[in-house]
Amino acid sequence: MILAIFAMALQSDRDVIHHQFTYVADKTLKSVFVAGTFNNWSSGTTPMQLDPDGRTWRRSVELQPGKHLYKFVLEGTNWITDPKAAKNEDDGNGNTNSVLLLLPKAYETPATPGDKMITESALRHEQSAPFFNYDQGRLDLVLRVRPKDLTSVALVVNGKQHETAFRSSNEFFEFVRCGVEWNRKSDLRYHFLLREGAIEKVYGPKGLSDTANGNEFLVNAKSFKPFEVSPWVEGSVFYQIFPDRFENGDKRNDPKGTVPWGTKASNDLWFGGDVAGVRKRSNYLKDLGVDAVYFNPIFQSPVIHRYETTDFLKVDPRFGTNAEFAELTKHLEALGIRTVLDGVFNHVAPDFFAFRDLLKNQEKSAYKDWFFVKKFPVKVEPNPNYEAWWGYQSMPKLNVKNPEVRKHLLKVPEFWRKKARIHGWRLDVANEVDMSFWREFRQVVKSADSNSWIVGEVWGDGTPWLKGDQWDSIMGYQFRDAAIRFFAEGTTKPSEFMTRLMQVYDSYVPQVSRNLMNLLSSHDPPRFVNLCKGNHDLARLAAVVQMTWPGSPSIYYGEEVGMEGEHDPLNRAGMEWSKVGPNNKTLGLYKRLVAARNASKALRLGTPIALQHDDTNRTFAFARKFGEDFAIIVVNRSDKEQTIGVSNRSIRSEGSVEDILSGKTYRLGSDNLSLNVGPLSAAVLVPSQSGKQPILKSRIPNKVQS
């Protein structure tokens, strides 16, 4: 479900700024709320107070320095931008929000190297992700600083000095890091050494000091627990299925009024997609090469999308039975395909047993504290008198802080773990659920199966939830947003696109970035090809980057055959099976890309390296490197053939390479590699095996037909 959020992470309580929002109405209003990234876009948690003049509404809110998006909510339903905002911006999904930029403390004076001043308010390091992380035998330590504020930063570990390297930056902060090898057998003591001209200061847990005595961070080897992500996810390719619209395999469970396949999509029409249909098409999924299926909700619900849950422990009869679904998961697993379920733990349907009781017994209901009732009698009607997801009366919000609610919900993952072969959970509108619930949810899920995957729906920065105590990953809407602006809209330059991708990658610890659920399309926004105005070449070009960039790419059903679809419900049309065939250029490309990932450790696990960008000719190149294995990806976004040169300095490997898209081979020498790339085209170069059959020939379908 759609919820755009750009959380300002990496802050602390000492950074808090009191900001007053003000709205002057042009008429008398009963209520005005402010909603934004700072309160998870909640329309009912931050009320504004009315001045004696009867028109001016105000609210002071504690905010962190940085960028915040917000709107005013009038009378509970009318969302508007701030008429006095200095700037509004589109979030990439058709929503325009007001922008608030708050400077950190002490930023009034410009920072200049050599000014003998250190902006202490900008400094931050803590012993949790993303500042502190252990991965693949190395301990990564990151310090946040003010840009242009310091001459240099060094890390001192057990008395040995290590130079730090630039990691990433944003409008307000720069992040420097240092990785040190650690066998996790001995304790560590460390601090940061800051130099500003002739001034030298130590930064430790007590802040700035002149010496490290009593001001060092400690790491106890025995008690240290690394942030571990389910290893099977790294490099996996996901396939998202909207259950009612994938395939109707069993007419016997069709609801009354089921429409013929191919009918124009509507949220009021059932197409009859079911368990039998997925099983019928399971060999298609295997042939495509995907590693996991992510199902939109399958539990009993009164509506087609099933995001309003009636019973968490029962498969919707229109989709199948519990036993049939359990058998499907076993069948998919036998084909090498894991199953991930959509969990909606924020709200339920009006016919959920506890809410039914509330409607019947009102104040006397034993379940009245399961929800957020504003006044009685409770009625299911527009602008409801209870909290509901975005004010929709059909989605009453659950009070997950209530012990009985929490107990009921935490039974769900355990129940399905025992009933079926479930390997993970995608958490709907997860940023709206109290974090303490997710911490307990992780304990329940991981204690039963440490390899279970937990991915939360957040449309912006997921840092607050990715510290190792809640989720493993988030849906990659940040990747999608960058792809929209570069490929679909063409409003950003290659250099800006690569910078944005690297910023997102560096926002998280590497094991998180390697399992981000990167997507181009989903059940919420229009399909990506529609955002490209029907230009399938652009959509395919974006898919090349999606399939080769770090993360776990997710294919929305039908995307691989070029299905189109505007806003919901048109993006949820019945799968167009007639498009599946050997002459489908898009399908051929996806098969080759998925097969290439499966054959290349670099494409599954490699670190990204920016190689080249040419803003004038609209080209760029990057590499993925894992040990001695590598892949080079070259992209031409222009409408002309381009000759693109790629430096070998970062690859440091010589020999023959082959393009898995065209089948051409090239010689990678000690200097630059030069190749011609056609308009709106790409090359994905991987090492060839000297004297043997080309490395990918036996594992990748024939050259894509045009």
5-24: burial string, b at 16+ Cβ within 10 Å, e else: bbbbbbbeeebeeeeebebe
Per residue, the 3-state secondary structure of 214-237, as one string, reads: CCCEEECCCCCCCCCCCHHHCCCC
How does residue 16 score in pLDDT terms, banded at 50, 70 and 90? confident
Q: What is the pLDDT of residue 89?
A: 87
How does residue 7 score in pLDDT terms, banded at 50, 70 and 90? very low
pLDDT for 326 beyond 70: yes
- Please count the CA atoms within 13 angstroms of the CA of 123 that sit on its side-chain side: 20
Q: Tokens in use for 160?
A: 């040995």
The 3-state DSSP class for residue 353 equals helix
Dist CA 520 CA 546 (whole Å) = 8
pLDDT for 311 beyond 50: yes
Q: What is the pLDDT of residue 93?
A: 61
Q: What is the pLDDT of residue 13?
A: 52
- Active-site residue, selected from the candidate residues 135, 428, 461, 659: 428
Q: What is the pLDDT of residue 590?
A: 98
The alpha carbon torsion through 118, 119, 122, 128 (nearest 10 deg) reads 30
Give per-residue pLDDT as tens, 262-309.
999 999 999 999 999 999 999 999 999 999 999 999 999 999 999 999
How does residue 703 score in pLDDT terms, banded at 50, 70 and 90? very low
Run of H or E residues at 481: helix 477-483
Q: Residue 28 CB: number of other CB atoms within 10 A? A: 8
Residue 260: exposed, middle, or buried by beta-carbon count in 10 A (0-12, 13-18, 19+)? exposed
Q: What is the pLDDT of residue 706?
A: 27
Could you confirm whether 457 is annotated as catalytic?
yes
* Model confidence pTM above 0.85: yes
Per residue, the 3-state secondary structure of 533-590, as one string, reads: CCCHHHHHHHHHHHHHCCCCCEEECCHHHCCCCCCCCHHHCCCCHHHCCCCCHHHHHH
Run of H or E residues at 338: strand 338-343
Q: What is the pLDDT of residue 694?
A: 45
Q: Tokens in use for 497?
A: 């696109």
The residues facing 665 across adjacent strands are 658
Give per-residue pLDDT as tens, 229-260.
999 999 899 999 999 999 999 999 999 999 99
**Residue 88 DSSP code:** E
Q: Tokens in use for 699?
A: 């594992």
Q: What is the pLDDT of residue 647?
A: 84
How does residue 4 score in pLDDT terms, banded at 50, 70 and 90? very low
Closest by CA position to 558, among listed 240, 236, 235, 238: 240
- Active-site residue, selected from the candidate residues 457, 461, 472, 559: 457
Closest by CA position to 460, among listed 475, 442, 445, 471: 475
Give per-residue pLDDT as tens, 608-658.
999 999 999 999 999 999 999 999 999 999 999 999 999 887 787 778 899
Q: Tokens in use for 182?
A: 């650690």
Contact assessment for residue 200 and residue 161, using Cβ atoms and an 8 Å cutoff = no
Dist CA 643 CA 673 (whole Å) = 10
Bond from prior residue into 147 cis (ω within 30 degrees of 0): no
Which tops the pLDDT comparison, 698 or 478?
Answer: 478
pLDDT for 6 beyond 60: no
Contact assessment for residue 612 and residue 672, using Cβ atoms and an 8 Å cutoff = no
Give per-residue pLDDT as tens, 465-515.
999 999 999 999 999 999 999 999 999 999 999 999 999 998 899 999 999
Give per-residue pLDDT as tens, 658-680.
999 999 999 887 678 899 999 99
Could you confirm whether 250 is annotated as catalytic?
no
Q: What is the pLDDT of residue 385?
A: 92
Q: What is the pLDDT of residue 14?
A: 58
Contact assessment for residue 594 and residue 698, using Cβ atoms and an 8 Å cutoff = no
How does residue 693 score in pLDDT terms, banded at 50, 70 and 90? very low
- Please state the separation of Cα 462 from the chain's center in Å: 7
Q: What is the pLDDT of residue 76?
A: 83
Q: What is the pLDDT of residue 118?
A: 93
Contact assessment for residue 517 and residue 462, using Cβ atoms and an 8 Å cutoff = no
How does residue 66 score in pLDDT terms, banded at 50, 70 and 90? confident
Per-residue pLDDT averaged across 362-386, rounded? 96
User: For a pLDDT cut of 70, what percent of the chain falls above it?
Assistant: 95
Closest by CA position to 619, among listed 685, 686, 545, 547: 545
- In terms of phi and psi (left: phi > 0; alpha: psi -120 to 50; beta: otherwise), the region of 562 is left
Closest by CA position to 209, among listed 220, 194, 222: 194
Give per-residue pLDDT as tens, 125-163.
999 999 999 998 999 999 999 999 999 999 999 999 999
Could you list the beta-strand ranges (E) of 430-532: 453-456, 473-476, 517-518
Q: What is the pLDDT of residue 689?
A: 65
How does residue 561 score in pLDDT terms, banded at 50, 70 and 90? very high
Q: Which residues lie below 8 Å from residue 300, measured CB to CB, with a gap of 6+? A: 309, 310, 311, 314, 315, 316, 317
pLDDT for 203 beyond 80: yes
Average model confidence (pLDDT) across the chain: 92
Q: Which residue has the tokens 């935490």?
A: 410
Q: Tokens in use for 389?
A: 């997801």
Which tops the pLDDT comparison, 360 or 235?
Answer: 360
Q: What is the pLDDT of residue 685?
A: 95
Q: Which residues lie below 8 Å from residue 583, measured CB to CB, with a gap of 6+? A: 705
Dist CA 477 CA 458 (whole Å) = 8
Q: Tokens in use for 108?
A: 């009034």
Per-residue pLDDT averaged across 39-65, rounded? 91
